[in-house]
Every structure is written in C-alpha cells, then in structure tokens.
Structure 1
Amino acid sequence: MADITASMVKELRERTDAPMMECKRALTEAAGDMSKAEELLRVKLGSKASKAASRITAEGVVAIHLSDDGTLGAMIEINCETDFVAKNDDFLKLASDCAALVAKHDPADVAALSALPMAGGSVESTRTALVGKIGENLSIRRFVRMQATGKLASYVHGGARIGVFLDRVGGDDQLGKDLAMHIAASKPKALDATGVAAELIDSERRVAIEKAKEAGKPEAMIEKIAEGSVQKFLNEVTLLGQVFVKAEDGKQTIAQLLKAKGASVAGFTLFVVGEGIARRSNDFAAEVAAQAAAAQK
C-alpha cells in the first residue's frame, strides 16, 4: 500500500476542493496516483471536484499592445504578490512597455525579453529596480505575439486579470469584440475538438463510463452514454461548440454565429492571471485539527 502523506492529501484538496477525508480515501484507493485519485473524486462528487480550477489567487495583470492596423499584437502576463501592487502605476507601465517590446522585437522567451533594452538599462534591470522600490517580488510569467491572418480583436476584463487575443477572418469589428468578450466569459480550452488534449477526452470518457456503471445502466448502452458525455464536454470546452453568451435564443453556438456572419476564427489566446498556480489561503493544519475534533465528537 502506498504511503499517503499529508502533503499528498493537501495537493489533491487544492486540485479538487473535495473534503479532506474524501481526498485521503481516493488517494488510498488509487495507490497514491494523483491523477487517478482526481478521477475517482470526479466520479463520486461530480462538478464539485472541479471547483479549484476557477479559484485563482496569484496577483498581477495582463497587458495588450495592438498595432494601429490591428494585424499585429502582443499580450503579456506579469505577476506580483498583492492586488494593491497590481494597481500601481509603475507596475502597470512595466507591463505595458513589455507588451510593446514583445510586439516589436518578437523575443523567443522570457529570458530574451528580459535582456531587451528598457529605460537606459534592460527589462531585467528595470524589473529589479521596481522590486526594490515597491518591496514586492515581480515576475514576467508568459507572453504571446500574434500576426493576424485576418484582423486581431482584443479584450481585457476584471481589472486586467483576464486578457483575450482573437484572430478574426471576415465579419466586422463588433463581431471580433463580441467573440473576445465571449472567450473571457466562457474560457474555452481550444478552438475545436482537435485542440483538446487526448488525455482530457480519455478522462471524460472514463468518468462517464464509471458513472453509468454506478447508475446501473445496461452494458450495451454504456459506450453510447460515454460518447454522448464526451461530446457534451467538447461542446462546453471548445469555442466553436459553446453557446454564444449574447445569443438571443440561448441556443446559437459560436460556429452558427460565425456561419451567419460569413466569418471564421483563425485562433485565439486567453490569459487568466495566476491560472495554474492557485494557492489556498486557509490554514490546512487548522482544517485537519478541526475535522479530527469533529470526528471525535
């Protein structure tokens, strides 16, 4: 039997937001396999086991630079420790200036960007000086530079915590704006099913099969039920499959909207500040003690 440590339970708790004891049971059943334990929790708890994906605590901003003709742009995420600093004028200027440098110089990675000239020194020396001035650690996390096939649309939301770049082919500027706002609200993982990782699809299929078995569905129906669940999942996580947030009938998909407008989407990028590096703020040790005390009663 695998040794299930407190740190493993904590990690699974952060991933799923499931109760601590449920996490421990799932890890035990999965012999310590974190991914398998997460699947077991999803089978048992459903959507409750995916809550942590939307809980983002890292601070910072997304900045966008767009050329006048809308054919070239850059988007960057820069992180800091507190939301107070995320509103600091010097911090915001650093983000804006870095986005402009990415658009102009097309650096290969963060290290290349950090070496570019800025304010009589480099991006790195400017960042370091600002760390000393503000008193918080600041980091350049990621960026993207996009040369449009058609025309770029961009959108920044939530105090610059969410940023979207969209390459629109056909249609008009209003369509581009609506699509960018939709992406910010609905957060698709990919343009269509071909962009969704195979492991995610396989995971959805396994979860659907286990749920169908637990529900006592006939063996002959299980595969069909699983395929239906996978298709529903793909519609939920792909831009073209999602229902347009402004659809008057509540049914029109993005694919249908684009067809009606004689347009298409060549690609998009979505940045959410702190995505993938969420940290729980509550005291895990205190939670363990509280649950242990409750169990004794």
Structure 2
Amino acid sequence: MTISASQVMSLRSATGAGMMDCKKALEESGGDMDKARDFLRKKGIAVAAKKSDRATREGGVAIALNDDASAAGMVRLACETDFVARNEKFKGLLERMARQVLAKGDADVPAQTLADGGGTVTEALTAAISTTGENIQFIEARRVALNGQGLVSGYVHSTGKIGVLVVLQCGAAKRGELERVGRDVAMHIAASNVVAIDQSGIPQAELDKEQEIFMAQARESGKPDDIAQKMVQGRLKKFVKEISLLDQPFVKDPDKTVQAMLAEAGKALGAGIAVKEFVKFKF
C-alpha cells in the first residue's frame, strides 16, 4: 500500500523517530499507526542494545524543586555528543528525570516506575536512545530535603554541565532574601572547588594524604624535621581553608568569606543562616 507523507509526519511527530524509520514502520504495519508505533518501539530497543556500549563523554544536569522549596531532586545523564546534550529533547528528558527523583527518591533510579506515566526509567532512557540515535546513560541522582525551617536552593550553570543543591537552615520569614542567599551559595559552589562545608567534613584520609605529600616535599627540600613539621602544618591549614566552603573567599565579593557573607545576610534577616548540606554534579 502507498504511505502518504502526512502519515509519516504524524508518526514522526508522535515518536520523534527519523523519517525513513517512520515510513518503514508504516509499510511493515500496513499503515496502522498503533502497530507502527509498536514496530518503532521494538526497533528502538534493538537499536539501544547496539548503542549501549558506545562512549558517553557529554551530558547534562537538571534540578527539580517542589513548590515550597523544602525538597529537590537532581540528576546527571550522559550522552555521546554535545549536539545531543544541547538538544531540547535531551533537556526535556533531564528535567523529567529530575522530577522523577524529586517524586520517588534517589534509590535505584533506573528500576523506578515513572511517576508521570507507565513503564520504568530504563524504558524511558531506551526510548530516548531510539529518538536521538545516541547512547544515553543514567549516571547519578540525589534528593535532598529540609529538616526544620529554611529552604532548598538549586543552581544549574548556563552550560547545563554543572548543578548544585544547597540546604539552608534559617528561621527568618523573608523568603525572597533567603532564596537569593541560597542561589548565591549554590553559584559559589558551582564555581569553586568545595570538598566540605567546614573542616569537620573533610575526610581524614584526604587530610592524611596531603600531610604525607607536604612532608615529603619539605624533606626533599632538605629541611630538618622540626622545621618541616611547622611547614607542613602551615600548608595543611591553608589547604583546609581552600577546600572548606565557609572559609573560602565569596566569589561575588572576594574581600569577605562565605561565612562572613552568611553572617551579614543573617543579621539583615534577623536570624542565623547555616548551610546544612550541599550536592554538586559536574561534567
């Protein structure tokens, strides 16, 4: 039977598949639109299987916050090329997966049933592989929630390659100002090398490793052990400040630390502001 251009366009609009794939699907199904969709789904699964081992060096990050900013989900997906990473369909998939994490949490995300429809997350990714023609992989996800007063803030860099979630605790009622502070902190973390909120959050193994390196460097320079120890302690103290959020110079005003900025903002709000948690995803 003859397949019309309008049939092909209708199937393409409904599935996002290529023109030739749609034409073949309609021919194979005798022009039946439902059967053609099933044909493409089956073909998509086969295509996905072939592409699942291809390298994924690009990708993006998306964030979804609930209405009262008390919880948020963030997801990172990978694809093969920057072209697809910038594609609206891929961005839409990212946003859908972020909403999924917000709704159902970050445990075993690929196996989750979709919150906005039938099927699973894995099936949605498989369909996206068919639509884009590239391997798309789930990388990681996190859901954070506020415990007490304050808010959750999120920031995604304009490139879509970096995303940050921040949980702020504060008893102030001026929501708009607190949202601004939360966004500023999230932007700072996106632009900086932050390992922990303060020194207490830095893994001891990382401190031990740096101390060992600093000591080896001091001894290599021929310094006596007592002098070397003092040098190491000084360098370690500097290292800790460089990777601790509260001790870092605030990116929007390097003359003050993040801690000083929070203190000023808290004073203006009439209540202290504390960073309780942060998560950063990056490509």
TM-score, scaled to structure 1: 0.68
Q: C-alpha separation between the residues in 1 aligned to 2:181 and 2:130?
A: 44
Q: Could you list the per-position Cα deviations for residues 219-259 of structure 1 after superposition, in whole angstroms to 9, with x for gaps in the alignment? A: 21211211111111111111112111122xx3421122222
- For residues 181 and 108 of structure 1, the distance between their equivalents in structure 2, rounded to whole angstroms, comes to 27
The 2-side partners of 1:219 and 1:165 are apart by 43
Residues 200 and 99 of structure 1, relative CA distance in 2, 3 Å threshold? same
Q: 1:142 aligns with which of 129, 140, 143?
A: 140
Distance 2:61 2:218 in 1: 42
Residue of 175, 195, 198 corresponding to 2:204: 198
Give the deviation of 1:107 after TM superposition.
4.6
Q: 1:117 to 1:182 in 2, by over 3 A?
A: closer
2:262 aligned to which of 228, 250, 258: 258
1:183 aligns with 2:193: no
Structure 2 match to 1:271? 281
What is the DSSP-based 3-state SS (H/G/I as helix, E as strand, rest coil) of the residue aligned with 1:136?
coil
Shift in Å, 1:100 = 0.6
Residues 76-131 of structure 1: CA distance to partner in whole angstroms, max 9, x if unpaired? 00110111110122211111111111111225223333x43555432222211221
User: RMSD over aligned Cα, in angstroms?
Assistant: 1.8
CA contact (8 A) 1:110 1:141 kept: no
For 1:63, what is the secondary structure of its paired residue? strand
Matched with 1:31 is none
Question: In structure 1, what is the equivalent of residue 49 of structure 2?
Answer: none
Q: Secondary structure at the match of 1:121?
A: coil
Counterparts of 1:1-297 in structure 2, within 5 Å, are: 58-113=57-112, 115-116=113-114, 119-149=117-147, 150-170=150-170, 172-247=178-253, 250-262=254-266, 263-273=273-283
Name the SS for the 1:84 alignment partner. Answer: helix
SS of equivalent to 1:190: coil
* 3-state DSSP of counterpart to 2:94: helix
**2:277 aligned counterpart, secondary structure:** strand
Q: Are 1:204 and 1:229, in contact at CA under 8 Å, matched by a contact in 2?
A: no
**In 2, distance between residues paired with 1:112 and 1:146?**
20
- Report which of the two structures shows the higher radius of gyration computed on alpha carbons: 2
Q: Is the 8 A contact 1:117 1:123 kept in 2?
A: no
Q: 1: CA distance between counterparts of 2:119 and 2:88?
A: 20
Seq. identity, %: 37
SS in 1 for 2:256: coil
Runs of at least 5 residues in structure 2 that lack an aligned partner in the other structure:
1-55, 171-176, 267-272
Q: How far did residue 58 of structure 1 move?
A: 2.4
Checking the alignment, whether the CA contact within 8 Å between 2:157 and 2:163 is kept in structure 1 is yes
Structure 2 CA distance for aligned equivalents of residues 118 and 139 of structure 1: 20
Question: Which TM-score applies when normalising by structure 2?
Answer: 0.71
CA distance in 1 between counterparts of 2:236 and 2:144 reads 31
